[in-house]
Chains A and B, each alone.
Chain A
Amino acid sequence: GITGGCHRSPKGEAAFSQKFELYSMAWNLKEDLRDCLVAAAPYGGPIALLKNNFRKEKSPGSRPLLEIYSASGVPLASVLWKSGQVVQLGWTASEDLLCIQEDGTVLIYNLFCEFKRHFSMGNEVLQNHVREAKVFHTEYGTGVAILTGAHRFSLTTNIDDLKLRRMPEVPGLQKLPSCWAVLSQDRVTIILLAIGQDLYLLDNTSCSVVTPPGISPHAGAYVQMAVSFNYCYLALFTDTGSIWMGTSSLKEKLGEFSCDFRTPPRQMVWHVAELWTLSGERRFILDEDSYLVPELDGVRIFSRTTHEFLHEIPEASEEIFKIASMAPGALLLEAQREYEAASFGKCFLDKFPPESFVRTCRDLRVLNAIWDYQIGIPLTFAQYKQLTIEVLLDRLVLRRLYPLAIKICEYLRLSEFQGVSRILAHWACYKVQQKDKSDEEVAHAINQKLGDTPGISYSEIAARAYDCGRTELAIKVLEYEPRSGEQVPLLLKMKKSQLALNKAIESGDTDLVYTVVLHLKNELNRGTFFMTLQKQPVALSLYRQFCKHQELETLKDLYNQDDDHQELGNFHVHSSYSSEKRIEGRVAALQNAVDEYYKAKNEFAAKATEDQIKLLRMQRRLQDELDKPYVDYSLHDTVYGLILDGNHKRAEQLYRDFRIPDKRFWWLKIGALAEREDWEEMEKFSKSKKSPIGYLPFVEICMKHHNRHEAKKYAARVTPEQRVKAHILLDQAADAAIEHKNENEMNLVLSKCTAATDSSVVEKINRAKAQILKK
Chain B
Amino acid sequence: MAAHLSSGRVNLTALREAGRRELREFLDKCAGSKAIVWDEYLTGPFGLIAQYSLLKEHEVEKMFTLKAGRLPPADVKNIIFFVRPRLELMDIIAENVLSEDRVRSPLRDFHILFVPRRSLLCEQRLKDQGVLGSFIHREQYSMDLIPFDGDLLSMESESAFKECYLENDQTSLYHAAKGLMTLQALYGTIPQIFGKGDCARHVANMMIRMKREFPGGQNSIFPVFDTLLLLDRNVDLLSPLATQLTYEGLIDEIYGIQNTYVKLPPEKFAPKKQGEGGKDLPTEPKKLQLNSAEELYAEIRDKNFNAVGSVLSKKAKIISAAFEERHHAKTVGEIKQFVSQLPHMQAARSSLANHTSIAELIKDITTSEDFFDNLTVEQEFMSGIDTDKVNNYTEDCIAQKHPLIKILRLVCLQSVCNSGLKQKVLDHYKREILQTYGYEHILTLNNLEKAGLLKLQTSSRNNYPTIRKTMRLWMDDVNEQNPNDISYVYSGYAPLSVRLAQLLARPGWRSIEEVLKMLPGPHFEERQQLPTGLQKKRQQGENRVTLVFFLGGVTYAEIAALRFLSQMEDGGTEYVIATTKLINGTNWIKSLMEKLEPPPF
Residues of chain B with a CB closer than 8 A to A452's CB: 215
Query: In the complex where A541-B167, A573-B442 touch, is A634 in contact with B435 (Cβ < 8 A)?
Result: yes
Q: Which of A515, A661, A763 is the one whose CB lies under 8 Å from B120?
A: A515
B121 lies within 8 A of A636 (CB): no
- Partner among A508, A549, A609, A612 whose Cβ is within 8 Å of the Cβ of B206: A508
The distance from the CB of A10 to the nearest CB of chain B, in whole angstroms, is 47
For the complex, give the distance between the alpha carbons of A634 and B433 in Å. 10
Judged by a CB distance under 8 angstroms, whether A372 is at the interface is no
Interface residues of A in 122-152 (CB under 8 A from B): none
Give residues of chain B (90-131) contacting chain A, Cβ–Cβ below 8 Å.
117-121, 124
Which chain B residues border A667 with CB–CB below 8 Å?
Answer: 396, 399-400
A417 adjacent to B174 (CB under 8 Å): no
Cβ of A337 under 8 Å from chain B? no
Partner of A545, one of B169, B215, B440: B169
- Could you mark each residue 601-612 of chain A with 1 if its beta carbon is under 8 Å from any beta carbon of chain B, else 0? 000110011011
Q: Are B401 and A508 in contact (CB under 8 A)?
A: no
Known: A482-B212, A667-B400. A511 touches B120 (CB 8 A): yes
* B372 at interface, CB cutoff 8 A: yes
Q: Are A612 and B167 in contact, CB atoms less than 8 angstroms apart?
A: no
**B212-242 CB contacts (< 8 Å) to partner A:** 212-213, 215-217
Q: In this assembly, does B138 line the interface, its C-beta being within 8 Å of a C-beta of chain A?
A: no
B439 near A609 (CB under 8 angstroms)?
Answer: yes
Q: How many whole Å from A101's CB to the nearest CB in chain B?
A: 40
Residues of A within 8 A of B599 (CB): 577-578, 580-581, 586
| Chain B residue contacts of A605, Cβ below 8 A | 442, 446
Determine if B547 is an interface residue (Cβ-Cβ < 8 Å): no
Indicate if B21 sits at the interface (CB-CB under 8 A).
no
The chain A residue with its CB closest to the CB of B427 is A604
Are the C-beta atoms of A661 and B215 separated by less than 8 Å? no
Which residue on chain B has the smallest CB distance to residue A604?
B427
Is B545's beta carbon under 8 Å from chain A?
no
Contact (Cβ within 8 A) B170 A760: no
Inter-subunit contact A538/B434 (CB<8 Å): no
Interfacial residues of chain A within 640-662, with CB under 8 A of chain B in the complex: 658, 660-661
A573-B442, A764-B367 are contacts. A509–B174 as well, Cβ < 8 Å? yes
Instruction: State which residues 660-677 of A face B: CB under 8 Å.
Output: 660-661, 663-664, 667-668, 671
The interface bits of chain A over 566-586 (1 if a CB of B lies within 8 angstroms of the residue's CB, else 0) are 100010011001101100001
Given contacts A417-B216, A604-B430, A636-B435, contact A508 B174 (CB under 8 A): yes
User: A500 → chain B, closest Cβ, in Å?
Assistant: 12
Question: A455 interface residue, CB < 8 Å from B?
Answer: yes
A455 to B216 Cα, complex, angstroms: 7
Question: Are A577 and B399 in touch, CB under 8 angstroms?
Answer: no
Residues of A within 8 A of B167 (CB): 541, 544-545
- Residues of B with C-beta under 8 A to A759: 376
Chain B nearest CB from A330 CB (Å) reads: 41
Task: List chain A residues, Cβ under 8 A from B436.
Answer: 634-636, 664
Query: Which A residues touch B434, using CB under 8 A?
Result: 608, 611-612, 634-635
Contact B435 A482, beta carbon cutoff 8 Å: no
| Residue from B117, B202, B205, B598 with most neighbouring chain A CB atoms (10 Å) | B598
Are A668 and B399 CB-contacts (below 8 A) given A507-B209, A510-B170, A514-B120? yes
Contact, CB under 8 Å: A631 / B169: no
Name which of B87, B168, B367, B435 has the most chain A CB atoms within 10 A of its CB: B435
Q: Once the chains bind, are A508 and B202 in contact (CB under 8 Å)?
A: yes
A342 to B599, CA, bound (A): 91
**Interface residue A236 (Cβ < 8 Å from any Cβ of B):** no
What's the Cα separation between A407 and B85 when bound, in Å? 47
Interchain CB contact under 8 A, A573 and B206 = no
> Are A608 and B430 within 8 A (Cβ)?
yes
A774 proximal to B (CB < 8 A):
yes
Residue of A nearest to B117 (CB): A511
Interface centre among A566, A633, A661, A693 (most CB of B within 10 A): A661
**Chain A CB within 8 A of B373 CB:** yes
The verdict on B432 contacting chain A, using a C-beta distance below 8 Å, is: yes
> Is the CB of A710 closer than 8 A to any CB of chain B?
no
Partner of B215 from the list A454, A570, A632, A660 (CB cut-off 8 Å) is A454
B367 contacts which chain A residues (CB < 8 A)? Answer: 764, 767
A416 at the binding interface (Cβ < 8 Å): yes
User: Given B120, B171, B212, B395, which contacts A664 in the complex, CB threshold below 8 Å?
Assistant: B395
Check A760/B373 contact, CB under 8 A, given A482-B213, A514-B121, A550-B87. Answer: yes
Contact B439 A611 (CB under 8 A): yes
Bound Cα distance A359, B309 (Å): 75
- The secondary-structure label for the interface of chain A is helix
- Complex Cα spacing A454 to B213, Å: 10
Q: A542 interface residue, CB < 8 Å from B?
A: yes
Whether A511 pairs with B85 at a CB distance below 8 angstroms is yes
Nearest chain A CB to B307 CB, angstrom units: 11
Across the interface, which residues of A come within 8 angstroms of B438, CB to CB?
632-634
Among B308-338, those with CB < 8 Å from A are 309-310, 313
Which A residues touch B216, using CB under 8 A?
416-417, 453-455
B160 within 8 A of A: no
Shortest beta-carbon distance, A656 to chain B, in Å?
13
Of the residues A509, A570, A615, contact of B439 by C-beta under 8 Å:
A615
The answer to whether A608 and B439 touch across the interface, beta carbons within 8 angstroms, is: yes
| A518-B124, A541-B167 known; A577-B598 Cβ under 8 A | yes
Task: Tell whether B280 is near chain A: CB-to-CB under 8 Å.
Answer: no
B213/A483 in contact, CB under 8 A: yes
A403 at the interface (CB under 8 A from B): no
Closest chain B residue to A516 by CB distance?
B120
The interface centre, meaning the residue of B168, B213, B376, B599 with most chain A CB atoms within 10 A of its CB, is B599
Q: B209–A632 contact, CB under 8 A?
A: no
A764 to B438, CA, bound (A): 35
Known contacts: A508-B177, A541-B169, A545-B167. The answer to whether A760 contacts B369 by CB under 8 A is: yes
What is the CB-to-nearest-CB distance from A173 to chain B, in angstroms, rounded to a whole number?
Answer: 47
CA–CA, A636 to B398, complex, Å? 10
Residues of A within 8 A of B174 (CB): 508-510
User: Contacts A549-B87, A760-B372 hold; do A510 and B446 have CB atoms under 8 A apart?
Assistant: no
Instruction: Check B121–A663 contact: CB distance below 8 A.
Output: no
Partner of B432, one of A416, A544, A661, A767: A661
- Confirm or deny: A512 has a beta carbon within 8 angstroms of a beta carbon on chain B: yes
CB of A537 within 8 Å of the partner chain: yes
- A511–B121 contact, CB under 8 A? yes
Contact: A510 with B399, CB < 8 Å?
A: no
A544 proximity list for chain B (CB < 8 A): 167
Check B542 for interface membership: any CB of A closer than 8 A: no
A542 with B430: in contact, given A483-B213, A664-B399 (CB under 8 Å)?
Answer: no
Nearest CB in chain A to that of B369: its residue: A760
For the complex, is B28 an interface residue (Cβ under 8 Å from A)?
A: no
Q: Which of B562-601 contact A (CB under 8 A)?
A: 594, 596-599, 601
> Can you list, as one digit per residue, whether each of A44-78 has a CB less than 8 Å from chain B (1) or not (0)?
00000000000000000000000000000000000
CB contacts under 8 Å to A, within B417-451, are 427, 430-432, 434-440, 442-443, 446
Complex interface: chain B residues within 8 A of A668 (CB): 399
**Residue numbers in B under 8 Å from A671 (CB-CB):** 400
- Interchain CA distance A272-B552 in the complex, whole Å: 74
Interface residues of A in 547-601 (CB under 8 A from B): 549-550, 566, 570, 573-574, 577-578, 580-581, 586
Q: Is B88 an interface residue (CB 8 A)?
A: yes
A-B contact pairs, 18 of them (CB 8 A): A454-B217, A508-B173, A508-B177, A508-B205, A508-B209, A515-B120, A518-B121, A541-B168, A573-B596, A578-B596, A586-B599, A605-B442, A608-B431, A635-B434, A658-B435, A760-B369, A760-B372, A764-B369
* Residues on A facing B (Cβ under 8 Å): 416-417, 452-455, 482-483, 506-512, 514-515, 518, 537-538, 541-542, 544-546, 549-550, 566, 570, 573-574, 577-578, 580-581, 586, 604-605, 608-609, 611-612, 615, 631-636, 658, 660-661, 663-664, 667-668, 671, 693, 759-760, 763-764, 767, 771, 774-775
**For the complex of A and B, 7 pairs with smallest distance between CB atoms:** A454-B216, A667-B399, A541-B168, A612-B439, A634-B438, A632-B598, A636-B436
